[in-house]
Amino acid sequence: MMSFVLYRSRLVPRFVSVLGLVGGPLILGSGVLVLFGVYEQISGWGTLLALPVFCYEMTLAGWLIAKGFSPAALASLSAGSGAPASGTPASGTPAIGSPATGAPAIG
């Protein structure tokens, strides 16, 4: 699901999110095959089917550490949300922990 959200929002390059979109179903299918005893979890097939997810997770982590989210995508997401960025939700009531309430942040 995260790969789909990243793909739609364009927060990271498409090739990164496509690795997750391909790897997710492959690792799910591999888990089902292991569950039914088709092959062992630690096997050549298990490793082969887990490679796209491994590449996705390493690439996503490296990308976010090195470059972060796409600034253009962040700007378009915040512009399209309709909520002010000052900590006040669209309802007009200040959020808990926002500077407007003076209350400490929770969590």
Each residue of 50-96: pLDDT tens digit? 999 999 999 999 999 999 988 888 888 888 765 445 544 555 555 55
Residue 104 lies in a domain: no
Q: What is the pLDDT of residue 88?
A: 47
Residues contacting residue 11 through CB under 8 Å, at least 6 positions apart: 69, 70, 73, 74, 77
- Model confidence pLDDT, tens digit, residues 3-13: 999 999 999 99
Range of the domain at 59: 2-75
The region of weakest confidence among 18-22, 35-39, 68-72, 83-87 is: 83-87
Q: What is the pLDDT of residue 91?
A: 54
- Give the global pTM: 0.66
Choose between 30 and 95: higher pLDDT. 30
Residue 100 lies in a domain: no
Total structural domains within the chain: 1
Residue 85 lies in a domain: no
Comparing CA positions, the residue from 104, 31, 21, 89 lying closest to residue 59 is: 21
Residue 20 lies in a domain: yes
